[in-house]
C-alpha cells in the first residue's frame, strides 16, 4: 500500500512537473492563435479530419556536422478519406429531403440541401475510402519526405512498409509506395497489410480505454458541450418553421452533422467549388471545434478528468519505437520503417511523446487552447510522426535523433544542446523511464487489488 | 465441329505445356501433377511464374495501343480457419483418445505449426503472392512498351478486399520500376464491386440440380476415400470412424498440405508427402468436376453459371468501346478474384472453356482443366492493336496467364482477332442469356 502511495505521489509529481514545464514553455498557441488559424484556413476546424497540407517552406535545420541519417521510423495517419460513418451524409440528407417536401426549408436551407446532395452523390458507395485528393496527398507527402531527408533514399535503403488492415490505411500506403517507386529504381521494399503488426501498429488497452469516458468525465464534458452549444440561429436560417424544428429535428445532432460535413468537402472532388462553412458564423465554428477538440483530448490526450493516462493506451508503439531505434544502431545500410496506422494512434503517440508540449495534463477543458492543444495540429489526415536517426558511422556512440511532427521539427520533453536534434540515449532513457513508471503503477494496482 | 474441337484441344495442350513444362511433350493431368503438385489444388494452384511462352509479333503495320486486364490476387493464406479446422479438430480428438500412430503424432505437430503460422493472417496476401504480381506487372510493361510508355495512363481498380488492393499495389509499383513516368491511378471502391466482384447468389443457388448432384456423386464415389492414409495416421481406423470422416479428412488434410506452397517462408511439405501422385490426381478430378458444375457451361444445370459475369463482360466491352476513341488510352487494370475470372473465361469461351457437356468423365480428355485458368495470380489480358486512331480494323489478342489464347471466333490472323467480330460474338452471347 505504501508502495502504491509512493508511486502515485511520484506520478502526480511528474504530472504537475510536466504541466508546469508546459506552462512555462512559450506555448506558441493561445486562444488567439486558434481563432487566427481557423480564420486563415477554416478547414482546420475539421480537427482530425483536416487534410494536412503539403507545405514546401518548412524550416529545415542542416544535418549535424559529421553525421548523416541512417534510419527513420515513420508513423502515418491515413490520407484524406470519405467518412466511414455514411449515416452522416445520408441522415443529414434525409432530414433536408423531408423538410423540403413539407416546404419547411428557407432559401438557404434549399441551397444547403442541394449542396449536401452533391456531396452524397460523390460519396455514394465510397464511405471510408481514400479520396482522389487523398491519393495525391499521400504521394505528395512521400515526395516531401524524400526531398527532406535525401540521404536516406538511396538504392541501398531497405524500405519496410506496413499497414494495419484497414482499407484507407492500405491505400494510403500503396499510394505512398507508388511515389517511392517512381523516384527510386531499383528499390528494395517489402510491404504488407497484416494483422501481425497490430501490437506495435495499433495496440489497444481495453482496461484503460474503458476509463476514458467514466461518468464523472462524461458529466464534465456534457456541461462543456452545453456551454458551447447555440444552434438557434443556424436552425432559423435553414428552416422556416421553428415548431417543425422543435418537433421533428434533433437540433444538436443536425448542427453537429452539418459541421462535420462542412469539414468533409475539403477531401472531395467538390473542394474549392462547394462549401458549407458559410452557414456557420466564425463563433459557431469555433464552438463546434472546441467541443470536438475537448472530446479528442479526453479520449487520446492527458486529460486528468479520467486519470490522465489515455495516451498510454498506445504505449506499445512508443516502446517499439525505442526498441527499433536501438536495433538499428549497427545496421550498415539505411532503413526506413513506414507504418500506416489510424489517426488516433498517431494522436495518442504525439501526446505520449509530449511533442511540442502536447503531453499537457489538465482537467480544465477550457484551457486547451491556451496550451495550444489543437487536434488539427496533432493528427490531421495525412499527419505523421517521423523519428530520424543520425550517426557518423556504425560505431558512433552519440546517435542523434530529430522528430518531424507533421513536417516540422518538433520539440521533445528532453534537454538538448543541439535542438532540433536530441541525443538518442537521452531520448530513449526519458521515454523508457516514462513507460516503465506507468507499467509499474499498473502492476502495483493489480497487486493491491488482489 | 470435330476438327474444331481437336484443334482447340491441340492448342490447349500446347498452352498447358508452355505454361508449366516447356520441354515436355503433350501430357495428361497426372503427369502435370507429378511435375507440379500444386496443380492438384485447383484454385490454390501457384502461378506458373516462369513464363517462357513466345508472343507472336504485332500484325503488320499495327501496334498495341490499349490493354484491358482482369487479374486475380496473388498467393494468399487460406481464407478462414474453418478449412484447416476440419482435419485439425479430428486429429485433436483422436489424439486425446490416444488413437494417433507415431506418424500421426508427427503429422499433428506439423499441422499445429501451420495453424500457428497462419493464425490471424486468414486471407492475407503472402510474400510469394506479392512477388507473382510484381513479376506479371513487370512483364506487362516489358512486353508492351508501346502502350506502357512514359506518360501513358494506367487506371487500376481493385475490389475492396485487402489482398486485392495489395496485389494492385504490388503490380503497379513494379510497373513504375520499369517505366517511372507512367501516370497511374488506383482505386479500391465499393462503387466498382458490381462488376469487379459480382457474385450472383440467385444464379449460384441453383447450380447443384438433382441431375448434377447425381452425376457428381457417381463421378466422385470411387475417388474420395483414402484408407491407406487412415491406417497410417490412426491406430484403429475403425474406431476413429466415429469422429473422423474419411473423405473429409483426406480432402482437407491434402488441401492443408497443398496450401503451404503458396506461402514462401513456410513451404512445409511434410503433409503433402503423405499423399501419392494418384491421391493428388483423384483430388484434382473431384475438384475439377465441382468447378465445372459451379462455373462452367455444364448441361446438367442449364449451362447458365458462366453468366454470373455478364456485367463484367459488358463492362469490358463498353470500356474498350470508349478507350478505342482515345488517342492514347493506356491500360485498364482490374484486380479481383478467381470466382470472377473463371466464369468470365468460360463465358467468353477462351481456350475452349465454354465446353458444354453432361458427362463429367469428358472434362479431362477434352482439356477442361480448371487449374490452368485460375491459379493464384491468374490473369486475362486483352491487347488491342491498330495502325493509328483512324484504323477501322482494330485487332485484339487475348493472353490467359500471359500465354496467347484462342476464342471461338473465326479469324484470318490468329492469335489476333478482329475486335468487331469479338465484340459482336460477346454481345450475341450476352443476348442469349435472356433466352436462357
Judge: A173–B127 Cβ closer than 8 Å, yes or no: no
Query: Of the candidates A165, A177, A192, which has its C-beta nearest B173's C-beta?
Result: A177
Query: Of the candidates B166, B180, B181, which has its C-beta nearest A170's C-beta?
Result: B166
Q: B266: pLDDT confidence band, cut at 50, 70 and 90?
A: low
Judge: B191–A182 Cβ closer than 8 Å, yes or no: no
Query: Of the candidates B120, B174, B193, which has its C-beta nearest A195's C-beta?
Result: B120
pLDDT at B265: 61
Indicate whether B65 and B161 sit together in one domain: yes
- Residue A196: list chain B partners with CB under 8 A: 120-121
Which neighbouring-strand residues pair with A193? A163
Please count the other Cβ atoms lying within 10 Å of the Cβ belonging to residue A131: 25
Is the C-alpha dihedral spanning A40, A41, A44, A50 positive or negative? negative
In the predicted model, what is the mean pLDDT of residues A170-181?
98
Cβ-Cβ contacts under 8 Å between A and B: the total is 86
Of the two residues B5 and A127, the one the predictor is more confident about is A127
Judge: B180–A183 Cβ closer than 8 Å, yes or no: yes
In the predicted model, what is the mean pLDDT of residues A415-427?
97
Domain end among B215, B239, B274: B274
Judge: A186–B177 Cβ closer than 8 Å, yes or no: yes
What's the pLDDT tens digit per position in A342-357?
999 999 999 999 999 9
This model of the complex carries an ipTM of 0.90
What's the pLDDT tens digit per position in A360-372?
999 999 999 999 9
Indicate whether B50 and B189 sit together in one domain: yes
Query: Of the candidates B127, B169, B176, which has its C-beta nearest A182's C-beta?
Result: B176
Residue B140 pLDDT exceeds 50: yes
pLDDT at B237: 87
In the predicted model, what is the mean pLDDT of residues A73-83?
97
Q: B242: pLDDT confidence band, cut at 50, 70 and 90?
A: confident
Which neighbouring-strand residues pair with B418? B395
pLDDT at B269: 76
Indicate whether B152 and B44 sit together in one domain: yes
Q: Looking at the domain assignment, is residue B425 inside a domain?
A: yes
Q: Looking at the domain assignment, is residue B214 inside a domain?
A: no
Q: Which domains, and CATH codes, for chain A?
A: 2-82+131-213+293-449 (3.40.50.1240), 87-128+216-280 (no CATH)
In the predicted model, what is the mean pLDDT of residues B187-216?
95
pLDDT at B21: 36
pLDDT at B240: 84
Q: Looking at the domain assignment, is residue B68 inside a domain?
A: yes
Judge: A125–B177 Cβ closer than 8 Å, yes or no: no
Q: Looking at the domain assignment, is residue B221 inside a domain?
A: no
In the predicted model, what is the mean pLDDT of residues B385-398?
97
3-state secondary structure chain A: CHHHHHHHHHHHHHHHHHHHHHHHCCCCCCHHHHHHHHHHCHHHHHHHHCECCCCCCCCCCCCCCCCEEEEEEEEECCCCECCCCCHHHHHHHHHHHHHHHCCCECHHHHHHHHHHHHHHHHHCCCCCCECHHHHHHHHHHHHHHHHHCHHHCCCCCEEEEEECCCHHHHHHHHHHHHHHHHHCCCCEEEEEECHHHHHHHCCCCHHHHHHCCCHHHHHHHHHHHHHCCCCHHHHHHHECCHHHHHHHCCHHHHHHHHHHHHHHHHHCCCCCCCCCHHHCCHHHHHHHHHHHHHHHHHHHCCCHHHCCCHHHHHHHHHHHHHHHHHHHCCCCCCEEEEEECCHHHHHHHHHHCCHHHCCCCCCCHHHHHHHCCCHHHHCCECCEEEEEEEECCCCCCCCEEEEEECCEECCCCCCCCECCEEEHHHHHHHHHHHHHHHHHHHHHHHHHHC
**Structural domain tally of chain B?**
2
- Residue A187: list chain B partners with CB under 8 A: 177
Q: Looking at the domain assignment, is residue B216 inside a domain?
A: no
Judge: A171–B188 Cβ closer than 8 Å, yes or no: yes
Which neighbouring-strand residues pair with B403? B400
Judge: B165–A181 Cβ closer than 8 Å, yes or no: no
Chain B closest-CA separation from residue A128 CA (Å): 9
Out of A30-44, A386-400, B29-43, pick the least confident: A30-44
pLDDT at A32: 57
In the predicted model, what is the mean pLDDT of residues A263-291?
97
Judge: B169–A178 Cβ closer than 8 Å, yes or no: yes
pLDDT at A29: 47
Q: B267: pLDDT confidence band, cut at 50, 70 and 90?
A: low
Cβ-based interface (< 8 Å): residues of B facing A: 120-121, 124-125, 127, 130, 160, 162, 165-166, 168-170, 172-174, 176-177, 180-182, 184-191, 193
Judge: A165–B162 Cβ closer than 8 Å, yes or no: yes
Domain end among B245, B274, B303: B274
Indicate whether B347 and B421 sit together in one domain: yes
B159 phi, psi to nearest 5 deg:
-70, 175
Residue A8 pLDDT exceeds 90: no
For B189, name the nearest residue in chain A, comparing CA atoms only.
A126
Residue B16 pLDDT exceeds 50: no
pLDDT at B83: 85
Is the C-alpha dihedral spanning A62, A65, A68, A71 positive or negative? negative
What's the pLDDT tens digit per position in A213-259?
999 999 999 999 999 999 999 999 999 999 999 999 999 999 999 99
pLDDT at A447: 78
Indicate whether B326 and B251 sit together in one domain: no
DSSP conformation letters of A321-380:
HHHHHHHHTT-SS-EEEEEE--HHHHHHHHHHTTGGGTT---S-GGGHHHHT--HHHHS-
Name the residue with cell 479520467: A306
Bridging pattern class, strands B395-400 and B379-386: antiparallel
Indicate whether B117 and B131 sit together in one domain: no
Of the two residues B224 and A390, the one the predictor is more confident about is A390
Residue A6 pLDDT exceeds 70: no
CB B37 within 8 A of CB B281: no
Judge: B181–A182 Cβ closer than 8 Å, yes or no: yes
Bridging pattern class, strands A158-163 and A188-193: parallel
Q: Looking at the domain assignment, is residue B280 inside a domain?
A: no
- Residue B185: list chain A partners with CB under 8 A: 132, 135
What's the pLDDT tens digit per position in B302-353?
999 999 999 999 999 999 999 999 999 999 999 999 999 999 999 999 999 9
Indicate whether B36 and B131 sit together in one domain: yes
CB B183 within 8 A of CB B212: no
User: What's the CA gap between B335 and B169, in Å, rounded?
Assistant: 10
The angle at the Cα of B152, spanning B150 to B156, to the nearest 5 degrees, equals: 125
Indicate whether B29 and B92 sit together in one domain: no
Chain B closest-CA separation from residue A425 CA (Å): 35
In the predicted model, what is the mean pLDDT of residues A103-112?
98
For B193, name the nearest residue in chain A, comparing CA atoms only.
A125
In the predicted model, what is the mean pLDDT of residues B63-79?
96
Judge: A185–B177 Cβ closer than 8 Å, yes or no: yes
Cβ-based interface (< 8 Å): residues of A facing B: 124-127, 129, 132, 135, 165, 167, 170-171, 173-175, 177-178, 181-183, 185-187, 189-196
In the predicted model, what is the mean pLDDT of residues B31-54?
90
- Residue A125: list chain B partners with CB under 8 A: 189-191, 193
pLDDT at A340: 98
Judge: A196–B180 Cβ closer than 8 Å, yes or no: no
What's the pLDDT tens digit per position in B274-290?
999 999 999 999 999 99
Indicate whether B294 and B177 sit together in one domain: yes
pLDDT at A91: 97
Of the two residues A181 and B80, the one the predictor is more confident about is A181
Mean of per-residue pLDDT scores for chain A = 92
In the predicted model, what is the mean pLDDT of residues B160-173?
98
User: What's the CA gap between B153 and B150, in Å, rounded?
Assistant: 9
Q: Looking at the domain assignment, is residue B220 inside a domain?
A: no
Residue B10 pLDDT exceeds 50: no
Overall residue count recorded for chain A in this entry? 450
- Three cell numbers, residue A364: 480544465
- Residues spanned by the domain of B255: 81-121+227-274
Out of A72-76, A292-296, A351-355, B240-244, pick the least confident: B240-244
Of the two residues A249 and A329, the one the predictor is more confident about is A249
pLDDT at A112: 98
Q: Looking at the domain assignment, is residue B70 inside a domain?
A: yes
Please count the other Cβ atoms lying within 10 Å of the Cβ belonging to residue A108: 14
**Which of B176, B179, B182 to substitute to test the interface with A, most A CBs within 10 Å?**
B176
User: What's the CA gap between A391 and A368, in Å, rounded?
Assistant: 37
- Residue A338: list chain B partners with CB under 8 A: none
Q: B268: pLDDT confidence band, cut at 50, 70 and 90?
A: low
B221 phi, psi to nearest 5 deg:
-45, -45
Indicate whether B254 and B386 sit together in one domain: no
The SS3 of residue B331 is strand
Indicate whether B418 and B313 sit together in one domain: yes
Q: B25: pLDDT confidence band, cut at 50, 70 and 90?
A: very low
Judge: A193–B162 Cβ closer than 8 Å, yes or no: yes
Could you tell me which residues come within 8 angstroms of residue B169 by beta carbon, excluding any fewer than 6 positions away? A170, A173, A174, A177, A178, A191, B186
Query: Of the candidates B165, B168, B191, which has its C-beta nearest A124's C-beta?
Result: B191
- Three cell numbers, residue B413: 490472323
Q: B243: pLDDT confidence band, cut at 50, 70 and 90?
A: confident
**Which of B123, B141, B162 to substitute to test the interface with A, most A CBs within 10 Å?**
B162
Residue A156 pLDDT exceeds 60: yes
CATH number for the domain spanning B139: value is 3.40.50.1240
Mean of per-residue pLDDT scores for chain B = 91
Chain A closest-CA separation from residue B173 CA (Å): 5
pTM value?
Answer: 0.92
pLDDT at B239: 83
Name the residue with cell 460474338: B425
Indicate whether B142 and B243 sit together in one domain: no
Domain end among B274, B300, B331: B274
- Residue B190: list chain A partners with CB under 8 A: 125-127, 129
Q: A23: pLDDT confidence band, cut at 50, 70 and 90?
A: very low
Amino acid at each position: 500500500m505504501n508502495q502504491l502511495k509512493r508511486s502515485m505521489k511520484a506520478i502526480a509529481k511528474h504530472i504537475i512537473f510536466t504541466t508546469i514545464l508546459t506552462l512555462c514553455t512559450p506555448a506558441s498557441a493561445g486562444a488567439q492563435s486558434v481563432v487566427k488559424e481557423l480564420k486563415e484556413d477554416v478547414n482546420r476546424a475539421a480537427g482530425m479530419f483536416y487534410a494536412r497540407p503539403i507545405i514546401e517552406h518548412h524550416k529545415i535545420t542542416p544535418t549535424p556536422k559529421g553525421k548523416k541519417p541512417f534510419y527513420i521510423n515513420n508513423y502515418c495517419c491515413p490520407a484524406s478519406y470519405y467518412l466511414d460513418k455514411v449515416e452522416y451524409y445520408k441522415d443529414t440528407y434525409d432530414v433536408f429531403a423531408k423538410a423540403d417536401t413539407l416546404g419547411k426549408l428557407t432559401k438557404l436551407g434549399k441551397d444547403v440541401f442541394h449542396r449536401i446532395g452533391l456531396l452524397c452523390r460523390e460519396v455514394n458507395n465510397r464511405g471510408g475510402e481514400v479520396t482522389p485528393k487523398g491519393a495525391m496527398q499521400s504521394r505528395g507527402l512521400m515526395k516531401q519526405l524524400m526531398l527532406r531527408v535525401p540521404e536516406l533514399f538511396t538504392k541501398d535503403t531497405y524500405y519496410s512498409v506496413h499497414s494495419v488492415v484497414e482499407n484507407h490505411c492500405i491505400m494510403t500506403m500503396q499510394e505512398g509506395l507508388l511515389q517511392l517507386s517512381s523516384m527510386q529504381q531499383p528499390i528494395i521494399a517489402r510491404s504488407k497489410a497484416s494483422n501481425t503488426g497490430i501490437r506495435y501498429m495499433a495496440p489497444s488497452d481495453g482496461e484503460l480505454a474503458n476509463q476514458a469516458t467514466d461518468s464523472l468525465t462524461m458529466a464534465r464534458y456534457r456541461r462543456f458541450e452545453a456551454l458551447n452549444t447555440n444552434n438557434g440561429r443556424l436552425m432559423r436560417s435553414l428552416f422556416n418553421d421553428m415548431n417543425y424544428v422543435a418537433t421533428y429535428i434533433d437540433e444538436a445532432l443536425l448542427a453537429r452533422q452539418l459541421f462535420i460535413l462542412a469539414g468533409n468537402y475539403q477531401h472531395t472532388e467538390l473542394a474549392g467549388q462547394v462549401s458549407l462553412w458559410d452557414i456557420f458564423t466564425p463563433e459557431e465554428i469555433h464552438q463546434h471545434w472546441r467541443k470536438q477538440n475537448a472530446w479528442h483530448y479526453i479520449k487520446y490526450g492527458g486529460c486528468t478528468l479520467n486519470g490522465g493516462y489515455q495516451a498510454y493506451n498506445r504505449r506499445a508503439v512508443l516502446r517499439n519505437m525505442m526498441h527499433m531505434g536501438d536495433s538499428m544502431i549497427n545496421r550498415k545500410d539505411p532503413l526506413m520503417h513506414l507504418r500506416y496506422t489510424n489517426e488516433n494512434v498517431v494522436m495518442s503517440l504525439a501526446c505520449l511523446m509530449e511533442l511540442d508540449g502536447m503531453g499537457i495534463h489538465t482537467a480544465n477543458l477550457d484551457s486547451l487552447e491556451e496550451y495550444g492543444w489543437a487536434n488539427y495540429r496533432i493528427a490531421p489526415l495525412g499527419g505523421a510522426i517521423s523519428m530520424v536517426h543520425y550517426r557518423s558511422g556504425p560505431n558512433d556512440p552519440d546517435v542523434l535523433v530529430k522528430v518531424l511532427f507533421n513536417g516540422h521539427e518538433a520539440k521533445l520533453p528532453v534537454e538538448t544542446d543541439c535542438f532540433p536534434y536530441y541525443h538518442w540515449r537521452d531520448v530513449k532513457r526519458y521515454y523508457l523511464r516514462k513507460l516503465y513508471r506507468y507499467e509499474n503503477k499498473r502492476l502495483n494496482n493489480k497487486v493491491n487489488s488482489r | 465441329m470435330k476438327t474444331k474441337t481437336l484443334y482447340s484441344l491441340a492448342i490447349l495442350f500446347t498452352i498447358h505445356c508452355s505454361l508449366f513444362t516447356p520441354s515436355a511433350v503433350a501430357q495428361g493431368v497426372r503427369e502435370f501433377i507429378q511435375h507440379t503438385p500444386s496443380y492438384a489444388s485447383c484454385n490454390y494452384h501457384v502461378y506458373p511464374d516462369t513464363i517462357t511462352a513466345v508472343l507472336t509479333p504485332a500484325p503488320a503495320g499495327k501496334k498495341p495501343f490499349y490493354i484491358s486486364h482482369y487479374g486475380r490476387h496473388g498467393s494468399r493464406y487460406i481464407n478462414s480457419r474453418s478449412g484447416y479446422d476440419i482435419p485439425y479438430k479430428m486429429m485433436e480428438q483422436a489424439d486425446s483418445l490416444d488413437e494417433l500412430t507415431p506418424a500421426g503424432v508427427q503429422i499433428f505437430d506439423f499441422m499445429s505449426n501451420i495453424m500457428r503460422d497462419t493464425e490471424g493472417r486468414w486471407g492475407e496476401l503472402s510474400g510469394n503472392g506479392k512477388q507473382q504480381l510484381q513479376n506479371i506487372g513487370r512483364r506487362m510493361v516489358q512486353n508492351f512498351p508501346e502502350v506502357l510508355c512514359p506518360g501513358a495512363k494506367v487506371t487500376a481498380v481493385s475490389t475492396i478486399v485487402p489482398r486485392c488492393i495489395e496485389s494492385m499495389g504490388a503490380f503497379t509499383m513494379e510497373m513504375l520500376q520499369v517505366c517511372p513516368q507512367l501516370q497511374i491511378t488506383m482505386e479500391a471502391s465499393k462503387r466498382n464491386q458490381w462488376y469487379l466482384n459480382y457474385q450472383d447468389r440467385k444464379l449460384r443457388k441453383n447450380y447443384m440440380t438433382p441431375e448434377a448432384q447425381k452425376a457428381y456423386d457417381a463421378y466422385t464415389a470411387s475417388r474420395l476415400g483414402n484408407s491407406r492414409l487412415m491406417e497410417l495416421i490412426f491406430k484403429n481406423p475403425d474406431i476413429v470412424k466415429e469422429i473422423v470422416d474419411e473423405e473429409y479428412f483426406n480432402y482437407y488434410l491434402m488441401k492443408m498440405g497443398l496450401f503451404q506452397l503458396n506461402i514462401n517462408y513456410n513451404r512445409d511439405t511434410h503433409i503433402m508427402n503423405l499423399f501419392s501422385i494418384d491421391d493428388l490426381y483423384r483430388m484434382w478430378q473431384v475438384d475439377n468436376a465441382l468447378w465445372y458444375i459451379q462455373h462452367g457451361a455444364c448441361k446438367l444445370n442449364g449451362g447458365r453459371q458462366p453468366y454470373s459475369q455478364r456485367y463484367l463482360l459488358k463492362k469490358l466491352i463498353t470500356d474498350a468501346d470508349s478507350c478505342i476513341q482515345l488517342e492514347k488510352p493506356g491500360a485498364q487494370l482490374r484486380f479481383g478474384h478467381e470466382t470472377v475470372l473463371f466464369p468470365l473465361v468460360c463465358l467468353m469461351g477462351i481456350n475452349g472453356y465454354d465446353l458444354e457437356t453432361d458427362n463429367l468423365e469428358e472434362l479431362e480428355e477434352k482439356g477442361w482443366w480448371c487449374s490452368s485458368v485460375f491459379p493464384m495470380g491468374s490473369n486475362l489480358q486483352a491487347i488491342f492493336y491498330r495502325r493509328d486512331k483512324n484504323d477501322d480494323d482494330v485487332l485484339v489478342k487475348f493472353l490467359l496467364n500471359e500465354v496467347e489464347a484462342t476464342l471461338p471466333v473465326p479469324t484470318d490472323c490468329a492469335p489476333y482477332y478482329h475486335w468487331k467480330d469479338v465484340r459482336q460474338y460477346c454481345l450475341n452471347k450476352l443476348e442469349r442469356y435472356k433466352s436462357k
